[in-house]
Amino acid sequence: MRFKRILIHRCTLVLTGQKMGETEYGKPIYGELPIEDVPCRADQVKRRVSVDQYGVDFVTENILFLDADQQIPSNTKVRDIRDLKDRPVLDGVYTIKKAQPIYSKVRLHHYEVTLQKESDGSG
């Protein structure tokens, strides 16, 4: 259980498209279901894109590490990524670009989730 010790951040996972109830006519009502205080670790990874006469271009990606016990549907949103002292680590709402399961020799060890920031409508 050493992996759980490195999960030094907390986040809120918002499951979208979840059945929240039914209308009086029996039709389902769908909405967002937040799961708060999920142990995680946010990190930034720099990936080299290209080298030319003008220099080197880098792309920085936000990666979120989650425990193997946490289910991550593809339409999940991530928000409120904070450290243990409730200070913000990454602001805004993120969608999941890619969720990659990482396996140990025998079983699922953890997830590495690549985040993409949602547009805030300001440009």
Q: Is residue 40 a contact partner of residue 6, using CB atoms and an 8 Å limit?
A: no
3-state SS class at 75: coil
Please tell me the distance from the alpha carbon of residue 120 to that of residue 105, in angstroms, as a whole number. Answer: 41
Please tell me the distance from the alpha carbon of residue 17 to that of residue 28, in angstroms, as a whole number. Answer: 11
Please tell me the distance from the alpha carbon of residue 116 to that of residue 65, in angstroms, as a whole number. Answer: 14
pLDDT for the residue numbered 122: 55
Q: Is residue 61 a contact partner of residue 117, using CB atoms and an 8 Å limit?
A: no
pLDDT for the residue numbered 2: 81
Strand partners, 60: 46
Please tell me the distance from the alpha carbon of residue 36 to that of residue 10, in angstroms, as a whole number. Answer: 8
Among residues 93, 97, 103, the alpha carbon closest in space to that of 45 is found at 97
The pTM of this model reads: 0.80
10-69 pLDDT tens trace: 999 999 888 888 889 999 999 888 999 999 999 988 776 778 888 888 778 899 999 998
71-104 pLDDT tens trace: 888 889 999 999 999 999 998 999 999 999 999 8
